[in-house]
Amino acid sequence: MLFKNLMAAATLASTAFAAPAEKRQAANKLKFFGINESGAEFGEKNFTGVYGKEFIWYDLNTIDQFMNQGMNMFRLNFLMERLTPNSLTGAFDPLYLGNLTQQVNHITQKGAYAMIQPHNYGRFLGNIINDTAAFKTWWTNVAAVYKDNPLVVFDTNNEYHDMEQQLVFNLNQAAIDGVRAAGAKTQYITPEGNSWTGAWTWVSSGNAASMVNLKDPEDKLIYQMHQYLDTDGSGTSATCVSATIFKERLQVATKWLKDNKKQGLIGEYAAGNNAQCISALKDGLAYMAQNTDVWTGALWWAAGPWWGDYIYNMEPTTGAAWTGILPQIKSYFV
């Protein structure tokens, strides 16, 4: 989601039972049920920031509450500039890394997936990343930390946009190569596309023709797309275009996934807490659940301690989406 006017966001999700991660998938249920935990990337104009002032990490008790609802995947938002403050190839900030790892361990020890998600839009210190070798090194260094944890998922970057398509392809391929070079061989990797990785524009934007050629020697790619249901698809309004707009915006990407035998994940979706939007959410999730040959799951946007009265806030127990949306949608997952 293009997030200019709000503070920030994070990610997460998990599962009710500390069951084996590769639990048998029930018919017509999506495998991954998750949420974005957002807050560690807040204050993103202030690259350094201070814990508790500009940014915040996620409440582990909240994560447990999502797991109790059946969630099994948490997309953990953070900033690359706070993890490696000096350069893409520089050393980690041990405290920021310590917090990230604490969250990853909490989530994965309970059997859920933790997605490592640099919330950077293909930028570092405000500049488009054009050094693909340095980006590969960044990913090798990060993946080395988590290479023995099969429940970690690597998201190459949040929402590339306004970049050369070939550069977006090259950065994704560099991330894949970097992760595998670290010896992380069993984990899923989720490439993201240009144009904010929108599902509705996956083909028209040029992502489809380019990204289809990504290569993973371990064959564990899950293409991550985002989809909102407001008029411009930006996820800034509580009004949905229609009660069928979610499904309609997924159809072209669904065909692309099927035609090319790829797997997909909706890494961000949300809609307002009202009857039309809830109808659209149910219709779209039912459609995804009918197409589990290509769609693996969906992660709500968003939770995190600092969202307050945000229209899509799913933080327990007062977020509008915790009370209004979650009870309506969880049957598509568990």
Please identify, using beta-carbon distances, which residue of 17 and 51 lies nearer to ligand NAG: 51
Per DSSP, 332 falls in state: G
191 binds ligand NAG (CB under 6 A): no
221 binds ligand NAG (CB under 6 A): no
53 binds ligand NAG (CB under 6 A): yes
74: three-class secondary structure by DSSP:
strand
Taking CB under 6 A as the binding criterion, the range among 50-58, 146-154, 172-180, 250-258 that sits at the site for ligand NAG is 50-58
Rounded Cα distance, 313 and 304, in Å: 8
Residues 279-298 that bind ligand NAG (CB under 6 A): none
Rounded Cα distance, 176 and 156, in Å: 8
Rounded Cα distance, 272 and 96, in Å: 33
* Contacting residue, 102, 166, 231, 318, with ligand NAG by CB under 6 A: 102
Taking CB under 6 A as the binding criterion, the range among 14-22, 48-56, 213-221, 285-293 that sits at the site for ligand NAG is 48-56
122 binds ligand NAG (CB under 6 A): no
Please identify, using beta-carbon distances, which residue of 10 and 285 lies nearer to ligand NAG: 10
Q: Where are the alpha helices (DSSP H) in the chain?
A: 60-68, 80-83, 94-109, 132-146, 165-181, 207-211, 245-259, 275-289, 320-324, 326-329
**Interface with ligand NAG: number of residues (CB under 6 A):** 25
Residue 300's nearest CA partner among 318, 263, 326 is 326
- 41 annotated active-site: no
Residues 6+ apart with CB under 8 A from 90: 84
* Contacting residue, 13, 15, 35, 54, with ligand NAG by CB under 6 A: 54
Which long-range CB contacts under 8 A does 50-53 form with residues at least 24 apart?
51/95, 51/99
Taking CB under 6 A as the binding criterion, the range among 38-46, 216-224, 249-257, 292-300 that sits at the site for ligand NAG is 38-46
109 binds ligand NAG (CB under 6 A): no
Rounded Cα distance, 44 and 47, in Å: 6
Please identify, using beta-carbon distances, which residue of 27 and 50 lies nearer to ligand NAG: 50
Residues 64-93 that bind ligand NAG (CB under 6 A): 77
220: three-class secondary structure by DSSP:
coil
In DSSP terms, 266 is beta-bridged to 225, 298
* Contacting residue, 19, 26, 95, 209, with ligand NAG by CB under 6 A: 95
272 phi-psi bin (left φ>0, alpha ψ -120 to 50, beta other): beta
Distances (CA, A) of 91 to 137, 138, 318: 11, 10, 39
235 binds ligand NAG (CB under 6 A): yes
127 binds ligand NAG (CB under 6 A): yes
* Contacting residue, 17, 23, 26, 98, with ligand NAG by CB under 6 A: 98
* Contacting residue, 14, 15, 38, 173, with ligand NAG by CB under 6 A: 38
120 binds ligand NAG (CB under 6 A): no
50 binds ligand NAG (CB under 6 A): yes
5 binds ligand NAG (CB under 6 A): no
Residues 6+ apart with CB under 8 A from 277: 229, 238, 239, 240, 271
- 218 annotated active-site: no
Taking CB under 6 A as the binding criterion, the range among 96-104, 178-186, 239-247, 254-262 that sits at the site for ligand NAG is 96-104
Residues 6+ apart with CB under 8 A from 19: 111
By annotation, the residues acting in catalysis are: 159, 268
Q: Which residues bind ligand NAG (CB under 6 A)?
A: 1-3, 8-9, 38, 41, 46, 49-51, 53-54, 77, 95, 98-99, 102, 119, 127, 130, 235, 268, 301-302
